[in-house]
Every structure is written in C-alpha cells, then in structure tokens.
Structure 1
Amino acid sequence: MTDDHSPQGAGYPHDWDPVLVGRFIMRHATRVPQATAIVAHGRGHTYAELAAAAESYGTVLRDAGLQHGDTVAVCMEPGFESVSVLLACSEAGYVFVPLNADQPVSRIADICHRIDARMFVVGPGSSLSAVDARELASRSAMAQEDTLTLHGPPMAGQRTGRLVLESDVAYVIFTSGSTGAPKGVTMSHRAAVVALRAITHGCDAYPRLASVAPLGFDFSILDTVAALGTGGTVFFVPRQVTMHPFRLLEYLRDHRIQQLHCVPTLMQVLLTHCGTRLAELTELRRIVTGGEEILVPVLDRLRKVLPGLEFTIMYGQTESICCTFGHVPNPIPATQRAIPLGSAYPGAELLLLDNHGARITEPGVTGELYLRAASLFNGYWQDPETTARALVPDPQRPHSGELLLRTGDLAVLGPDGLIFAGRRDHQVQIYGNRVELGEIERCITAIPLVREALVTAHQEGPAHRLIATVVTDDELRGDSTRIRDHCRTHLPAYMVPAQIQFVDNLSYLPSGKLDRNAGDAG
C-alpha cells in the first residue's frame, strides 16, 4: 500500500507493498475476476464483486473517521459481507474483531468494551436488533451499506497517515478463557500470513470448499484463505443448516462440495444421524479436520461409507492458526490406535519437552508441546499476565530472547510421529497418580457401539471421583458393567470411572467442539 508519507528515493521499488492478510486472500482476484469466490445466504459472488465491495466498505469506514489501528467489531454469519469487511479493514489498517452472530448480547458488550470498539458492524444472520447494536456501541446509526449497518460516532480529527505494515494487528479472535472471561488472541498480518501460506499448501484445496465455522472461530478465516488463496470457491454453510445433520448432508450434496473443513465432532454427528446416506456425497473428496482429537473408529466408519475419502489432520491453536499437517493413510493400519499430529510446516518446529524443559526423544514418554514459529500471536488483548504464561522463553535457550508458544497440549512420541495425549489442564491427581482424562475417553470410545464419551473429575474430600458420560447405540445403553470391565482391562484401577451415565447427546460449543464444562454438573 502506498502512502503520502512513504520515503521516496530510498532504493525500494514503488510497488513494494506489504504482504497483508487481505492481499493474500485476494491474490488470485486479478487472474480469475469473474470466477465465483463466495457462495453464502443463497447467492454467489465473484472475485471482482468481492474486491469492489471491500473497496466500498473501506471508503465508508474511512469517511466515518476511523484511524489506523482502530478496532472494528463485526457481528454476523460468515459470508460475502464479513469477508468484504475483513478485506477493507486489512487494507486500511483497522483491526478486524469477528463475533459470532448468535452470541449473547452481554458477551458482545463485554468484548466491545474491552477492545474499545470504534465501529460496530451488524450483518446477515445477526440476532441483534438495531436497538441492541446502538446500545452496544453507545452510539447512533450512521451509515447503511447494502446489507450492513454500521454503528459509531462521527469521529473528528486529522488522519494520522500511518503506513499499514505487516507488523500491524490484523485481527483479534476471542476464545474461552480458563477464568471464565474470553481471551482476545491478537494476530499480526505477518504472523497470520506465515500460517495462511502454509495452509494453502498443506490443505491443497479442491475448488469447491465448504465451511461450517462461525465467524468468531478462526477456522472461518482459515477456510476463506484455503479456498480463495488457491483461486477456488468457499461455500459458507448457514448456521441453521449446520445444526441439522440431514439438512447439512443435503447442502453438501446439492452444492457438489469437494472439500469440507470441520471439527471431528461434526463428523461424528453426521455418522450418527445420517449413516449410510453419507454415500450420497459423491463429489466429496477430502475432509480437513482439526481443533479436537480425531479418533480412528470415526475415520474407519466414514471410509466404509465413502471409501476414497481423503483426510487431512491439521493441528494448531488460535494463537498460531496452525502448525502441522498430516495425511491419514487409506486404509489405516489395523495396529494403529491413534492418528499422529503430522509434520510441522517448513519454518515451524514443534518441540516435545518434559517438566524441566528437556527434549523428549524416547517413545511413549508424555511431554508438553511447545511451538517455535513466525506465526505466533502478539499476545492476549490487554492481558500481559496470561500472555506471559503462553508466550515463554525458550526452555532450551532461555537467553536467546526467542519466545515459544506453550500450547498446554500433551503428546507422546509414537512410531509414526507425535500422538496427542490430552491437555495439561485436563489432568487430575487420583491417589497420587497423574491422570489424563482424555486417555480414559479414548479407551471408552474404542468400545464397539460407543459413539462419544466425556470423562470429568469431581472433588470428593481429598480425592477425585471419575464420572463418564457416554453416548451409545441402544444395544449398549445402560450396560455400565461392560464399559467398566473394558476400562479395567486396558487401564489401571485408579483410572476406571466410578460412575457411568448414559445420555442421548453431549453438549457442544458454538465452534462445534465438545463442551467439556457441560459435564461438570454431573
């Protein structure tokens, strides 16, 4: 991007522009301007239309008086409008803050207050009324642009004229925090583009890609880049469709989707409710999944219905977008009980360290994963204490000044690479033994007819009592003895759940991930 304050005669070419998130997304726009870029809300939009809309929205935001670095809160379902605003913010140097369309007003208000939102944008699918939006922003409506309503005050003052640089903050994604308050993951253009470049190669997208992620989940940006960054088309599946398995099946079938990005839980839901009807997805070639551990039985069941289906496992955190990719073999070897995390993309290194910061090279030893990469986030928005717990000095080279992401994920080194072994914060002590709840869940889900399992630990005096909440087929429902006997065969006695409870469904977060806190009421 050029600017009146750019240095002249410094020896740099005039077209030496920064690599920004928006420009990376639109790098194929001039090559295929009339190709369909986005399908959402029943309409298709070309790359040329997307570029024009981004320029139009950028003009509206600039005319409103926004300054470089101002935050723009955006509440809507993902689609043409949300991507256009993202592009507009990227080009002008504003900070894009996406919010789920169906979030409670109180949560949106809290986030807007914390980021000092200078503009609040409401678009398609938002459950907020105009009154809600005006009250949230504490401002009056000031502009209407197609299907977007912008709320904010006329902002006086001379524009600063600062350059838009790769080091600028591109967006802030709010995730659940351990304290109950959402954490704002602050990502620069530079860090995001490093990961997004890896995604366009690691995913190697088919032309027709479906996204089911809500706007406030970073998978939405990832999906957009995986499709548009390769010149393809992203289909944003409406939320009301995603929530109904049969309607989702019909959408994927009727739109001839070739690649689906989703969390593993959604794959399980489709299998449970649609079963052999998934064979109707004759165009589907690949599923890219991440955000949760993927279980071998689920992959096996999917491939029985869709034998040629490819699976790409993508591992990473919002704090780095992604860091590894792995392609699942077909068929999966009979002896393989877990899917490796895959290999770090070039320029990233995933380290397995023990409690003293030493590298673990011995198979079967559990350690914590640390990430070295240029794609690491800046920190949590206005939360230096939490940031310092996540971005830590390199335990092996503490004086280098380099910061690593302490992921909180546990893993072991298996014959085919790193195997996910749960979360540090899901560990409990049982009779002095360190227990990872995910290991018990994996043991239970290995039982035929078990669909899902959630294990929680409840404090009873000085000890924990383990409770397993299980979703099964009717034949196994209520048979807690069979489940407990299986656990006794494969786990130490202290890891066998004291109680088994059966439910029809587990609870899920808006991102589609399993809601682990929902089991705490047991």
Structure 2
Amino acid sequence: MADEPVDADLDITITYATDLFGQETVELLGKRLAAILGQVARQPATPISRLDILTPAERRQMLAEATGTAASSVPCSVVAAFDEQADRTPDAVALTDGHIALSYADLRHRAEALARTLRAAGVTTETPVPMLMQRSVDLVVGILAVLKAGGAYLPIHTAYPLSRMRAVAADSTSPVLLVDAAFRDHELVVGERAAGRQVLTCEPDPSVMVTDLPDVHPDQLCYVMYTSGSTGEPKGIQITHQGVVDLVRDPSWTMHTDDRTLFHSPHAFDASTWELWGPLLAGGQVVVAPPGNLDAAALQKLLHEHKITRLSLTAGLFRVVADELVDAFAGLTEVTTGGDVISAQAVNHTLEHCPDTIVRTTYGPTEMTLCVTQYPWRHGEQAGATVPLGLPLRDTHLYVLDRHLQPVPVGVSGELYLAGAGTARGYVNRPDLTATRFVVNPYGPPGARMYRTGDLARWDAAGNLHFLGRTDDQVKIRGFRIELGEIETSLTARPDVRHAAVIAREDQPGDKRLVAYLVPTDDGTPIDLAQLRRELGAQLPDYMVPSAYVTMAALPITANGKLDRNALPAPERHTTTDDTPRTARQDVLCRLFADVLGLPDVGTGDNFFDLGGHSLLATRLVNRIRTTLGVELGVRQLFENPTVAALEPHLTSARPARPTLRARSTGNR
C-alpha cells in the first residue's frame, strides 16, 4: 500500500497477489478501509475498537440475511390451535401408543375433564404445575389438561436424582403435583404430599362442579424446562404459548394430516415440544414410544411397526443410527437432528442410503423455543466438512456481533445473538440472570429484546452461518446442555477435594465425554473415586457425572494465572486384562467392548461405564452384539450387567435377533 498526498486528498493503491485474493474481495477491503478512514477523519477521538468496519451496503445486506422471512405472527395459544384442529378433524387419531388410541375429540374430552379437576385444586392462570410421569398417553393428556386449566406444564426429568427433583419442584408455587402410578410412591412425591402439596393423577374427579375453563392468552406461560446452571442450581426457562405456535406453524416443516411423529424424547427436554405440538396442531398423529431409553434396534422396530414419517433425534443419536443402522431412516419422510454439532458424515451417509428421506438439521437453544434455524438436506446435496447452522425460521433474527454489539464482517468471529419469534420470557426467579442474557435489541423495534447465546459464530461469503465454539464453559453432551461450573461446584464442596476442573474431551471423534481433574486437600487423604462417583450421581443427572477422573498435585495454569485447559492430560483407562475370556462368546464380547470404547483390550470383569461408556455408546454396543452374535439384547440389560462376565449369561436366553427391516417402496403416500 502506498499513499501520495495530493493537496488535501489521500490516494490509496492496493497491490495484491491474484492467486490469493479475488478482485471483489480486494475492492471490498478498499471500501472498508475508506469507511474507517472517513470515521477517523470525522471523529479522531473515536477508540479503534468502536470503529465500524462494515460499509453501509454490507451492514444492510448482513442484517437482511440474518432475518427470516418477515411475517406478522397470528396471535394464538396452543389451546386455541389444538381446539381449532380438533374441530376440523374430531375423529382422526391424535395419539396412540400401539394399545390405546385417542381421537382428537377423545383427547380434548379427557384433557378438559382433568383440567376441571386441576382448576378445582387451585391451578389458575400461569400456575407452573410440576409433572413426574413416565412417557405415556396419560402424560400427553395431562400436559394438555394443564394448559386448558390455564397453567403451564413443568416436567421433572424422571432420571434426575432426588435432590435435583426437589430443587425443580421447589421453584413452583403450584398447589398440585401431577404423577402417574409409576411414581405415586416416589420419595419426592411422599415428601411433597407431607408438605401439603396435593398429589393428583390423570384420573379426573367426577365430583368436581367446575364447568367453565379459562380463555388462554397467546402470551401466557406454556411450559418451564430446566437446564444446567453455572451457580450449581438448575435454571428454569419460561416459554410462552405464542412461541410454541410460531415454532410449529413455521412453513419450513410442511406438516401433513397423514404424518405420524414418534414422541420418544424425554418430556423434560425441549425436543419434545416439536414431537408433541408439531403433529397435534397440524392434524397429524403422535405415536408414544415406550418409557425409557431406546436403542437403535428398538427405534427401528417402532418406526416400522407404526409407519412413522417424522422423527427427531439428537445429533449424537442421529450419528449412532446413521453409522450402525442407517436403513432405519429409509421409510421416513424426514429426520430432524440438532442439539449439538452435527456430523456431516452422518448426514451424507443418510442421504446416500435413504434417497427419499430429508435430513433437516437445526440449531437453537431452549431459550428460543427449541430452534431458530433449519436446513433440509436432500439426496444429491453434499454437506461439507462442517454442517452450517441453517436458515432462519420465519420472523427470527440472527446477529453475529462484537463486544460493542456491532455486526462483524463476513469471515470474522463474533457472538451470536437471537431475537424474534420464540424468545423466552426469561428464567424462573432469576431476574439478574434474565437481565444478563436477554438484552435490549438495538436492531429491533422499541422494547425488543435479544438473547445472548454465548455461542461464537461467523458468516461465510455464501451467506452460511457456522458455529465456532463457546465464549464460556458451557458444553453439550449427548444433546444435553451442561454448565461445567455446576459440576465443579459439586466437586469442590466435598471435604477431600481442594480444587477441581471439568472439561469435555473428544479424544475419539464423535465421542465427547466429561473428565474431572481433582486436587486433593493438603492433609494427604486420597480421594475415594468410587465413593465420589456414587455421591455425585446422587446430586446430578447421569449425563453430568464425569466418566473419568484424574487426580493431580496441582492444576496447570497459564502465565496469566488462568486454568491451562490444553495442558490437562488425557485420562488413562485401566483395564483388567488378566480377566481373560473363558469362552468363545466371551472373547467376542471382549473384542466388541474394546472396539466400541476405543481400547486395545477389555477384561471380562471390566465395567463398560467405568471405562467411559455412556448411553450412546451403549446403543452402539448393543447393536454390534445384535449383528455379530445374532441375539436380541436391550440397552437396559447392559446397564444392569455392565461387564462381559455379567452380560454373557443373558445372551443364552436372549431371543434370536430379528432380521434388519428394510423399507419397501409402496408408491406415493
């Protein structure tokens, strides 16, 4: 670059290597430089950090690309939308588990009967009603009943430890706790009943005289779902009826009355929002999966038996099924995936083997009512090295901003802010945290807010948005959002732990797991890791319990005194290879265990989960056993018998494996 002053003007010439830069790129750099110099000339006292790098044309274009199709949201509650659909198709099947089937009219009648019981028990407008129930037809009836009573449903994850269940229930002022037979005598329920909270099931009280149900406003609270909190306590996210309606009525989904959607996600997880309300507000059918976790073979069986057309999977489970049993997707119109970084290889593998199936990738936090972007991948398309975040949903806004809330140029990393349809109210009883994460939107109308995600992202030249990482210590493990600080708080509260650090490691591609690094107290007492694991499991959900622990004399720090995460060593996984296989079948099982865990050897007495196994790897292992040994085995059996020695006797009584189900063309639906 050279400058030659001519009178009061400044002429700039840019010389560039044509094999590295295109002319358009260099011209844009020149325009940006001119814009910066103009700002400096007009306001020389401006700090460099506050100079706007974008040209006016770039700014207009970027703000336009960051916005989904503009459309006025039609005010509507979930209750009104469901009733409209029930009026249109009263006799169509709305809900089934394979044994019980409810039409839209039946579902409305049962929900309204229970809603009257809830009203009589004291549920009023926006009462958050805690629900401790297994996945079932009754659960869906109960959720709709809570909404029709004017309340909001607050699902308690059935796998939570008791202390966490109590923390969630304590956040609600509801006079009612809704349960089913499986949890009627649960320790939480017994305690809540003793404390004076009324415990109800989904059976309505015939003596109730309440006849009228309230009108539900679109801006009323619809549900509260809890995620990990950095302070050591879970935080409840408040979502409105309008947010749910805007999500499921987005034109990108193109739901049909003959669609059958599998409801299999935990109902305390926001993926259940789409699985339930997507079909129910469009005249489709919800197929309720049995309670508990599903392995790949059980999932495939359900998809085939119920002729499922729509399926939603977390990114981790999608990868496992795509790798191990991709034909399971062949009969689907669409499989939707998100909740974590999505494997491009899994997307491409599915498109190659299931050419009639759309793979819809999504992105979005719970604070924005499940997701804000989507992209429908079709046969013939090829995902690159990474899967972009996708296109904004209708009336949704995405901003990649610097620390001064100014848009950053194409190719530059910034923090992602989200606004528009689906924005949550905030966090239950946490006005401080709400004010920190939901901030004023300088690019929206007066009073508009935007959600600060903490995600780092960048735009590329083609207008695609790419996820780059986090600005904080939040991670995603198997689709669950985890604040590492919450785990560290639980660890350092122990008397034998002086310092603790927890990170998410991915030493094997696609296998992200939590590892805890511990510094014992100065008294020299060793940390009992087995006891620590048990006690941590009583405080935190299983997906937040680290799978490996490393004891250190001190945590490594950088020159600035911060934790040096890059210097934390990979954990060693010790196996008891002296426990050699005694039979040919044990030998096969040991090799399958080792292969799935990424280890050279595994002994017959080694615990699958102590060596780093988790639910997704368990699904992979069960499928490998099924295909290699030709026996039917459930994930639960592996959880109950996590060693080769304990598991092998159960294979002798297992049923022969069913043949792999393959989709058969039956013409157009």
Give the TM-score normalised by structure 1: 0.74
The equivalent of 1:408 in structure 2 is 454
1:300 alignment partner AA? N
Distance 1:373 1:468, change over 3 A: farther
Where is the strand percentage greater, Structure 1 or Structure 2?
Answer: 1
Shift of the alpha carbon at 1:360?
1.9
**2:239 paired with 1:187:** yes
Distance 1:361 1:329, change over 3 A: farther
Shift of the alpha carbon at 1:95?
2.3
The equivalent of 1:171 in structure 2 is 223
Distance 1:66 1:454, change over 3 A: closer
1:505 to 597, 604, 613: 613
Q: CA RMSD in A?
A: 3.7
The equivalent of 2:557 in structure 1 is 461
Distance 1:382 1:271, change over 3 A: same
1:133 alignment partner AA? V
The equivalent of 1:331 in structure 2 is 380
Q: Deviations over 1:153-203 (max 9, x none)?
A: xx9xx99998642222222111111222111111222333223322x6435
The equivalent of 2:464 in structure 1 is 417
The equivalent of 1:344 in structure 2 is 392
The equivalent of 2:511 in structure 1 is 452
1:249 to 300, 303, 320: 300
1:39 to 85, 96, 107: 96
Distance 1:475 1:38 in 2: 37
Shift of the alpha carbon at 1:280?
5.2
The equivalent of 1:95 in structure 2 is 152
Question: Secondary structure at 2:174's aligned position in 1?
Answer: coil
Distance 1:340 1:457, change over 3 A: farther
**2:116 paired with 1:59:** yes
**2:192 paired with 1:84:** no
The equivalent of 1:262 in structure 2 is 313
The equivalent of 1:318 in structure 2 is 366
Q: Is the 8 A contact 1:357 1:396 kept in 2?
A: no
Shift of the alpha carbon at 1:79?
3.5
Q: Deviations over 1:50-104 (max 9, x none)?
A: 0111111111112223333323111113343222222222233212212223333
Identical aligned residues as a percent? 26
Q: Deviations over 1:264-295 (max 9, x none)?
A: 111123245xx2x5425542221111211211
Shift of the alpha carbon at 1:296?
0.4
The equivalent of 2:185 in structure 1 is 129
Q: Is the 8 A contact 1:67 1:160 kept in 2?
A: no
Q: Is the 8 A contact 1:253 1:283 kept in 2?
A: yes
- Count of residue pairs brought into register by the alignment: 441
1:505 alignment partner AA? G
280-289 or 167-176, larger mean C-alpha shift: 280-289
252-261 or 137-146, larger mean C-alpha shift: 137-146
Question: Secondary structure at 2:367's aligned position in 1?
Answer: coil
Distance 1:21 1:283, change over 3 A: same
1:70 alignment partner AA? T
Unaligned runs of 5+ in 2: 1-73, 476-502, 518-554, 559-563, 574-591, 601-609, 618-669
Shift of the alpha carbon at 1:128?
5.2
2:365 alignment partner AA? Q
Distance 1:467 1:506 in 2: 21
1:353 to 385, 396, 401: 401
Distance 1:161 1:230 in 2: 23
Distance 1:306 1:503 in 2: 34
Q: Deviations over 1:229-281 (max 9, x none)?
A: 221111122233x3322222212222221111111111123245xx2x54255
Distance 1:475 1:269 in 2: 11
51-60 or 98-107, larger mean C-alpha shift: 98-107
Q: Is the 8 A contact 2:329 2:350 kept in 1?
A: no
The equivalent of 1:393 in structure 2 is 440
Give the TM-score normalised by structure 2: 0.59
Shift of the alpha carbon at 1:121?
0.4
Question: Secondary structure at 1:239's aligned position in 2?
Answer: coil
Q: Is the 8 A contact 2:128 2:154 kept in 1?
A: yes
**2:230 paired with 1:230:** no
Distance 1:173 1:299, change over 3 A: same
1:293 to 341, 361, 364: 341
Question: Secondary structure at 1:230's aligned position in 2?
Answer: coil
The equivalent of 1:68 in structure 2 is 125
Distance 2:361 2:235 in 1: 25
Distance 1:455 1:118 in 2: 38
1:258 alignment partner AA? T
**2:358 paired with 1:306:** no
Q: Deviations over 1:126-155 (max 9, x none)?
A: 445266414224237665553x89xxxxx9
The equivalent of 1:379 in structure 2 is 426
Distance 1:379 1:427 in 2: 18
